[in-house]
Structure 1
Amino acid sequence: MSTAVDVLFGVLYGDCLGAPYEFHNGPVTSPIAVGPSVFGHPAGRGTDDTETTVAVAEGLIDASQDGRSTTTAIAERLLAWHRTSPPDVGGTTASGLDAFDHSGDPRSGAATEHSVANGSLMRSAPFAVMNGDGSELAVDSSRTTHAHPQVLGCVRAYVRMLQMIMNGAEPTAIQVGDLAEDDLDLHPELEPAEIPCPGIGFAPYALDLAVWSATAATDFSSGIETIIRRGGDTDTNGAICGAVLAARFGFPSELVSPLDAERVDELTHLGRRLAVLNADQLRP
């Protein structure tokens, strides 16, 4: 059975494999490999997808230690990251964190039709690798930056799907749609190249790719390559689907070598800490 560390490695590897091809217009047909991001992140280190995943993991651990609101603890970690002026922070994420910085309200995220973005979905894997059900903690934390009902439904479905896989179940696409508790218009019958994409960074599209990863991919390596070759928001789609693929198949040990050693150590430590937490004992 896959571990919390496997899942976090899946996030990092998917992020790093997709980073050189972010915003690629159309399918990626050239050979793909881990490399520097289009924003200049070093190869194997990860972009904002990995960095915000780390912030969420640290916030969950903070909340478990001092009894604070989980949403507040994570928002503070995300804000600290935002203050480092990362080169690739998304607009919806930046707006939500700026609002939190000014108001102190950790549920300041936008809920407009223009905010159905994947910035909270990409950082949600840590909620799934704890004991108990972390899905509603993930939904509440999403509201720091992304509060649109479709995004909240995507986050809920994604975390519950990951939890099912971590517990040994094989979720069907229909079950995943039901878990969202919202009409997300998923396309479980389609291959990634056939799934309609309304725009780069659209959260329901990323969930569609994650559903394919959970139900139709045959192994980690070919699965993550299929996702990256789709083009578009390749690093984020890679991070989201990398977690799912690692939960299903484990993380292949031979894929650790191109990853940044310091980041690998950090995620190993965080994964082991998260694996002993109980989401049901944390406050939203």
Structure 2
Amino acid sequence: MMFVFAGIGVQAQNTGAEPFEGSTHSYRVTKSATLTTALAWTIEGDAGGYEFVGDTDKETVSVKWKSIGDYTLVLTEQRSSGDACPTIRKFPVKVVANNFNVIASIVGNADGCAGISNPVKDEGSDGSNANDVFGQTQRVFNVKMEGGDLTKDWTFKFDITGAVGFDGYDVAVSGATEASGVYTVAGAAPTATESNVATITVTYNTNKQTANNGQDPDVILKLTVSDAKDGSGTSESAANIALNNVMSYNINAVPATTPIIVVN
């Protein structure tokens, strides 16, 4: 009978042998090829520290490790009739702290003026600034992962508030692929630590409001990262979520001055 654990995380971090607290991992054996036998999975250790996910009498078993500590995964295979003649396999598991951490950051200063193309060119002749091009305002956020396995894909969701609905508003993401609102950052070679960064660029046209003579308000442009999961599907701990999943810029509006006109 062969005993292996199957990959929900077989790299240096969050492995089946040293899983993160709160993670789920799968393990399997190959049962006797010729005998009629029954399988039974059990665990030695704190009974409240783990939870089987699904069946415990198949060749593959899944376990959610709920608490830090030392455990022993036990598999018993025995004959289904007559003498049981059991074969027992044991596998040590050390559950460790969940240090998977997704970090949001800003590029440059948190406080600054909206973008403007000075001097602003008058695109009309009636003293109105409705057609004038004040320029674009742009801010960049980065989202990266630490503590997980950089060679595996990881995922996150995000939300932007503060400038939604502004003229020309656009959010562009690089370094990640999107499906149904979930962004996946591809794993990379262990030495390519900077390749696990997703970049979120927010852009809008300055001073193109339909009211108030085009004047933009001051804006708090906020990024909130949520539902981040490492390559094994493990979520961030509550402590890590509270650390750095929200970042913001304070964007100070530039005056929407009208063109200069001759009055006399």
Q: Which has the higher helix share?
A: 1
Name the TM-score class by shorter chain.
under 0.3
**Bigger relative contact order (CA 8 A; separation at least 6):** 1
Point out the structure with max Rg over C-alpha.
2
TM score, norm. by length of structure 2: 0.23
TM score, norm. by length of structure 1: 0.22
Q: Which has the higher strand share?
A: 2
